[in-house]
Chain A
Amino acid sequence: MQTNKTGFLSSIRAFVRDPFRMFGMVSVILLLLLTIAPAKDYFSQWRGYQRQYLRFIGSRGDAVTLRRHFTGGIQQIWIPKLDVVDRCQSCHVGLAEASLADVKEQPFRAHPPIPHKLTEFGCTMCHRGQGAATTVEEAHHSEMAGEEPILPARYIESSCGQCHHEPLEGAPKLNRGRVALARYGCVHCHTIALPEGSTMQATDNPPPLSHIADKTTREWIYAWLKDPASYSATATMPNFQLSDADAGDISAFLIANSTPQPGDTIAPPAASGDAASGSDAGASLYGESFCASCHATQNEAGNLVGGDLGPELTNVGGKVKPGWLMAWMRDPQKYDPQTPMPQYRWTDPQLKLIVSYVEGKTDPDFLANVHLQPATKAQIAHGKKLVIEYGCASCHVIAGVPKPDNFAPELSRIGSKPVVQLVFLPGMKHTLPAYLEQKIRQPRSFGPSLHMPRYNFNAGQIEDLTTALLSLTDRSFSLPASLQVPAVRETSYQPAGQAGQLMASLNCQSCHRINGHGGTMAPDLSWEGSSVQRAWLDNFLKNPNTLRPTLIRRMPRFNLTDAERTTLTDYILTVYQTPAFDRDAMPLAGYPPQLIEQGRQLFYSKYDCQSCHMVNPNVDKGYIGPMLTHVGARLNAAWIFHYLKDPQALRPGTIEPNQHMSDDDARALTAFLMAQKSGAGQGANQ
């Protein structure tokens, strides 16, 4: 050690003694140091990619063009108002070259076409990552405080959702995720504020529990709480992973807390002596009433058949008490004023039939092993404590338990949550998407004391939900308002007067949309009064039928009285009119035969309407559009005329193409169609 030290010191001394030698050495060192900066620049990663790019395009047919477009050096997109400084194109050189769309290897592939210009939005707006970085590692993978890594491609649709709050055609995952956030009631507990000031609203309809004892038994509640999916695979109620004792206590509390409501129960039908024929008649009434338009049941093959507007009914007989079901079927709004279920106006024998049929849908195994001791006071008190602890009242109305505010963490900006604020499980990828996915898949894996329940989501649904959550970023709040595309807000339209009351009891708007409010299962009725003739409408309400041969009829018959039908018809014809034209401007009949003949030729030759419609069922085959065999007795002439001129203006979203028809053609076709009154194909090919 000593010798080494002295050796080193002596060599220093030798240098000091010899200034020329020292000067020479220092100069060499300085020169070396000076070369580091240009060398570092020359060997920088992005320069390497640019050299590689030039070699790569040299082998292509369009090399000359591509070379002409190429400018070396750092490429930067700078958009001050969006806070974007992106140098991605320094390495992704061919990003804006349409002809490089076929390139498979990165980083030279052209960006696939999107409705936005790179220069207007930059890259990091959608892809995240560090835009100002000039190395791959830093740009793509940096996780340091405040920096976010690049977003995996499978969640890229979330970035659309920062500005676009309306459903977006090219972003199905985002749309599905948003629907799921509302449908599975996530937003009952987690507030999601939207940039325009509103909050996301749930679309599920959790039943009120204040009178639950009228409806079902403690045993059923217990089994349901233990595992909702074992009762119905489509249940939106999640699994709270309760212990047997806790489920018993909650069920005890709910039953003890329930107060009977007059009219909730009607004497159940006596057991029918002829059960088999009763069940057949019940099944056909169930079919005739189109219960399956909204309610699904599992068929023998185990497939769910039916709509998802109402709860699945496969095992409903084991759930609801017959007396309650009688009262419910007679007037559902009495028990739950918010229910989308219509009042069917069944006669008493029909009621008995449908109730005994529905009560027959039961799974004997579901409650087979449930044996509960009578509830004690302590159990009931503990049950109430659990109900408050688990936030049951966030979704359900429970008498005596107020709805908690902000029960769960707000998610309005969850998509920007820094990774350093998250707690990861061992072996987990340290990214926000991975955290969200695990949180949705197994919420309690982050700690047994957490209250978030478990849902039965499949991998695709989890990806959808994660995409929707990732769209809720800080950026979506800080973006200029001019970039925000708000969702179309549901109006609160309700029809007025006597007809309004009638329509409310029939819950027309569960399926039909009117003036921006209502379901999407059935046609929009906002302008129905301009469209149809009185006699047809009256007859349709008496006996609804589908207009399209390929559609399954879904509209139930409601046993309306003549007076009720008149009220409805009057109201629809008077109120639901388009301001675009006068529906009586053209006559319903009496068109000259030449005009009808001209229309026939246009129908069959110029516009080939028979590809999709039928006027004469013996000849025509088109079954995509509505049948036109009786169209002259159904629609108003002025409606047909204006519809032919611009279908989307009267029925937004219809698939009938706008043929840009002249007035003369439209008039002739109207004349021809108005002649189709009796289904015999008047004036059609004979």
Chain B
Amino acid sequence: MKAHLMKKTPWLSGLFASAVCAAAVLCAGCGPRQASAPALKAKATGSAIVVVSGDKQLGSPGSALPQPLIVQVNDDQGNAVTGARVELSGPKGVLFDPAEVLTDDNGQATVKVRLAGVSGRYELTAASQDAHGKSFDIPVAEYAAGYQQQVGYKIDAKYCSRCHDEESTTEQVSNYDNLAVPPHAFSNGGVYNKLSGSDLAAIIAHGGPAMNRSALMPPYGWTLTKPEIQAVIAYIRLVSDPPYAAPGVGYANR
């Protein structure tokens, strides 16, 4: 029937042919294009991978992280391996430059990371393969701060980290070691994840004694505005390790 129709109407067959062509072009467009990228060949293999620096950085959505991510591949003896292939992967939208790299003379691979366009915690993976082709990897967490978290970070740097930062440097001196009751670092998810948002807001606004905690934590309710306090909480939730999960979501995701 179709053949008959086509024989009778060449304009229709032309249309059919062009439709076939278009479909072919579309299919070709959809085909796996990445397959042609030449894979980097490993010159050596290790058995473990560690993060040297550049994890848990605070960046902005869609932006490159301030420092590169540096990982190191070690062998069984713990010695750095030169020429091992490291492959970086992460959620959709995260860009690595380069995504595959061989470790340098120090056994280290340096990669620039650009986070995707949404704020939040990013779980990345740096992987390599051992001599038997078995893969081993290390998880790397990075943070993209949205507006609120960025404000929280600024407030943290100005007020909170003077005591809550466990490390004291000449640029940013911390009072941490001088306090009779040591404060908790904001990344301490073990402590903060147990506190609800309103508990945290109460401690920040009314001081430690409001929640039966140390009086060394002064009240900030007359210094910070309510949105600023919420911003600090959003920042604490962002950098908390283990990651903070909003209540109810565990059930909801099932």
Q: For the complex formed, measure the closest distance between the CB of B50 and the CB atoms of chain A, giving whole angstroms.
A: 26
Does B33 belong to the interface (CB within 8 Å)? Answer: no
The answer to whether B178 and A611 touch across the interface, beta carbons within 8 angstroms, is yes
The A contact surface, by secondary structure, is: loop
Given contacts A4-B9, A170-B147, A608-B218, contact A152 B62 (CB under 8 A): yes
Known: A4-B10, A113-B146. A623 touches B62 (CB 8 A): no
State whether the Cβ of A8 lies closer than 8 Å to any Cβ in chain B.
yes
- Any chain B CB within 8 A of the CB of A590? no
In the bound complex, residues from chain B placing their C-beta under 8 Å from that of A11 are: 8
Q: In the complex, what residue of chain A is closest to B168 when comparing beta carbons?
A: A550
The contact of B117 among A153, A459, A612, A623, by CB within 8 Å, is A153
Among A113, A156, A173, A623, contact of B148 (Cβ-Cβ < 8 Å)? A113
Chain A residues within 8 Å of chain B by Cβ, number: 51
Min distance, Cβ B161 to any Cβ of chain A, angstroms: 10
Given A7-B8, A113-B147: A102 touches B246 (CB 8 Å cut-off): yes
- Output the residue of B7, B147, B215, B220 with the most chain A CB within 10 A: B147
1/0 per residue A86-114: CB within 8 Å of B?
00000000000001011010100100111
User: B82 interface residue, CB < 8 Å from A?
Assistant: no
Partner of A153, one of B118, B219, B253: B118
Contact A660 B150 (CB under 8 A): no
Q: From B151, which residue of chain A is reached at the shortest CB distance?
A: A170
B223 pairs with A648, CB closer than 8 A: yes
Given A60-B252, A611-B178, A624-B162, is A154 in contact with B61 using a C-beta cutoff of 8 Å? yes
Contacts A113-B147, A655-B159 given; does A622 touch B178 at CB 8 Å: yes
> Is A61 positioned at the interface, with any CB of B under 8 Å from its CB?
yes
Chain B CB within 10 Å — which of A101, A169, A621 has the most? Answer: A169
B162: chain A residues at CB < 8 Å are: 612, 624, 655
- Number of CB contacts from chain A to chain B under 8 A: 132
* Interface pair A114/B147, CB less than 8 Å apart: yes
The answer to whether B60 and A173 have CB atoms under 8 Å apart is yes
Q: How far is the CA of A101 from the CA of B231 in the complex (A)?
A: 15
Given A154-B60, A463-B63, A621-B178, residue A169 in contact with residue B173 (CB < 8 A): no
A400 within 8 A of B: no
Most buried by B among A62, A115, A657: A657
User: Which residue of chain A lies nearest to B214 when distances are taken between CB atoms in the complex?
Assistant: A608
With beta carbons under 8 angstroms apart, the residue of A101, A112, A622 that contacts B147 is A112
| Interface residue A171 (Cβ < 8 Å from any Cβ of B) | yes
- Report yes or no: B222 in contact with A657, Cβ–Cβ below 8 A: yes
B interface footprint on A1-29 (CB within 8 Å = 1, 0 otherwise)? 10010011001000000000000000000
Interface mask (B132-170 → A, CB under 8 Å = 1, otherwise 0): 000000000000001110110011001100110000000
Given the complex of chains A and B, what is the CA–CA distance between A648 and B221 in angstroms? 13
- In whole angstroms, what is the CA distance A62 to B246 when docked? 13
- B residues less than 8 Å from A463 (CB atoms): 63-64
Residue contact B220 to A112, C-beta cutoff 8 Å: no
Does the CB pair B64–A459 fall under 8 Å?
Answer: yes
Instruction: Decide yes or no whether A607 CB sits under 8 A from chain B.
Output: yes
Chain B residues within 8 Å of A61, by CB: 248-249, 251-252
Beta-carbon contact of B175 and A172 below 8 Å:
no
Q: How far is the CA of A106 from the CA of B155 in the complex (A)?
A: 30
Which residues from chain B contact A155 at a C-beta distance below 8 Å? Answer: 62
B9 touches A8 (CB 8 A): yes
Docked complex: B201-243 residues within 8 A CB-CB of A: 215-216, 218-223, 227, 230-231, 234
- Extra inter-chain contacts (17) besides given A62-B248, A101-B246, A156-B62, CB under 8 Å: A1-B10, A4-B10, A61-B252, A102-B249, A104-B118, A113-B146, A113-B148, A114-B147, A152-B62, A152-B117, A155-B62, A169-B151, A460-B64, A608-B216, A611-B163, A612-B175, A657-B218
- A and B contact pairs by CB, cutoff 8 A, 26 listed: A8-B9, A59-B253, A61-B252, A99-B252, A102-B249, A106-B118, A109-B118, A112-B148, A115-B227, A154-B60, A169-B151, A169-B154, A169-B155, A170-B148, A170-B150, A171-B147, A172-B60, A460-B64, A460-B66, A463-B63, A608-B216, A621-B179, A657-B218, A657-B219, A657-B220, A657-B223
Name A's B-contacting residues (CB within 8 A).
1, 4, 7-8, 11, 59-62, 99, 101-102, 104, 106, 109, 112-115, 152-157, 169-173, 459-460, 463, 550, 605-608, 611-612, 621-624, 647-648, 655, 657-660
